[in-house]
Amino acid sequence: MTAKRLQNITESATLRISNLASELKSQGKDIISFSLGEPDFTTPGHIIDAAKASLDRGETHYTPSPGIPELRRAIAEKLKNDNNIEAKAGNIIVTPGAKQAIFEVTLSILQEGDEAILFDPAWVSYDPCVKLSGARTVWAATDRDNGFSPSGLAEYITKNTKLIVVNSPCNPTGGVYGKETLKEIADLAIDNNIMVLSDEIYEKVIYDKEHISIGSFDGMQELTITVNGFSKAYAMTGWRLGYVSAPKNIYEQMLKLHSHSVSQATSFVQYAGLAALQGDQTCVADMVREFRERRDLLIKGLNELDIRCASPDGAFYAFADVSEYGNGEKVAELLLNKAFVAATPGAAFGEAGNDFIRISYATSQERIREALRRMEAVLK
């Protein structure tokens, strides 16, 4: 009695691990969670204050479906100043989270018989979104020795390819694509008239490299859909606020889906997003500085445990090769049940992740040190 479209979709692996960890925690176990991609910082005060002020003003009613005009204009300005993308407010939809934006993109572009290219490994929800649209995922290889950048992309393109998904900085690897890599993707997209979905949710969480938006390349304005949000940069995961900038023809199709499903992003949360973009950005720099320290602490500790793990250039994930101790599934299960450390098996992100686990270092340095001690006790 259930729809066939959902029968080959599995639940989110990151949320599944989180639920298992919560169950153990309810039994009194001290669980250190490395599973969810959620900053442990409190949302900056000026953003919270803006939401409270919006509530006090009685802004608890419907807004225009694509978002309040002030926020859409601020997003367009942000894309121009930060990303060199000539976006228009009239082509922007404010969504309840970046995940909703990605879902709307895939359903607006893809259909039965189409193909979408994902770089293996890739975030857990891209593939289900592609499948729900009726299309097929094509997994393209990446080079782990080059920050998991795509390798030999041209060979995966066919007459059915309608979409390439780019995620830089990348979840789960922390890889950041350089200009040369993005130029290769852009050239192939232009030559074959393929749309590119650029998920830039981690753009502000970057360390020693520069973030480059593929939508800023010549010829890519009408072929790029840029998705971003507030969850990672401003510690606003629970607020559920994202946005998408798309070419007009795609925007119009997305808006149909948006208006008939979620209607709009929450009214007072949109005003919080406006404050986030227009307020002091020191809070972002402070969080990134702390993420860098956590990253360095974790990578050093993993390597001392004979777990190979390159230092990620962005996001807050370590994609760790645990093949010295077994495959990712077995090691993640061992760590959760014996060390009470929750990490996500790399296979959840694609076949290339079979020997890996993803560790989110969005937790305190004290807890990272304790987790490393527990991991050593179990693995050694």
Q: For position 22, what pLDDT does the model report?
A: 80
109-132 burial, b if ≥16 CB within 10 A, otherwise e?
Answer: bbeeebbbbbbbbbbbbbbbbbbb
Indicate whether 269 and 286 sit together in one domain. no
Single out the residue of 220, 207, 129 nearest to residue 169, CA to CA.
Answer: 207
The runs of H, that is alpha helices, within 261-379 are 267-278, 282-304, 328-334, 365-379
Indicate whether 224 and 261 sit together in one domain. yes
Q: Which of 26-30, 211-215, 330-334 shows the highest mean pLDDT?
A: 211-215
DSSP conformational letter for 215? G
Q: For position 286, what pLDDT does the model report?
A: 98
Distance, in Å, from the CA atom of 357 to the CA atom of 336, rounded to the nearest integer, reads: 12
Range of the domain at 182: 61-278
User: What mean pLDDT do residues 342-371 have?
Assistant: 96
**pLDDT > 90 in the chain, percent:** 89
Indicate whether 10 and 92 sit together in one domain. no
Retrieve residue 157's tokens: 């393109």
Indicate whether 102 and 168 sit together in one domain. yes
Indicate whether 147 and 215 sit together in one domain. yes
Confidence of residue 306 (pLDDT cuts 50, 70, 90): very high
Amino acid letter, residue 116: A
Indicate whether 274 and 292 sit together in one domain. no
Tens of pLDDT, residue by residue over 197-210, are 999 999 999 998 99
Indicate whether 312 and 270 sit together in one domain. no
Statement: residue 183 has pLDDT above 90: yes
Distance, in Å, from the CA atom of 320 to the CA atom of 331, rounded to the nearest integer, reads: 11
In a domain, 34, yes or no: yes
Indicate whether 255 and 364 sit together in one domain. no
Q: For position 199, what pLDDT does the model report?
A: 98
Give me the CATH number covering residue 186.
Answer: 3.40.640.10
In a domain, 55, yes or no: no
Tens of pLDDT, residue by residue over 277-290, are 999 999 999 999 99
Indicate whether 264 and 314 sit together in one domain. no
Tens of pLDDT, residue by residue over 363-375, are 999 999 999 999 9
Statement: residue 24 has pLDDT above 90: no
- Whether a cis peptide bond, with omega within 30° of 0, leads into 121 is yes
> pTM for the whole thing?
0.95
Residues forming a β-bridge with 119: 140
Amino acid letter, residue 126: Y
Confidence of residue 152 (pLDDT cuts 50, 70, 90): very high
In a domain, 56, yes or no: no
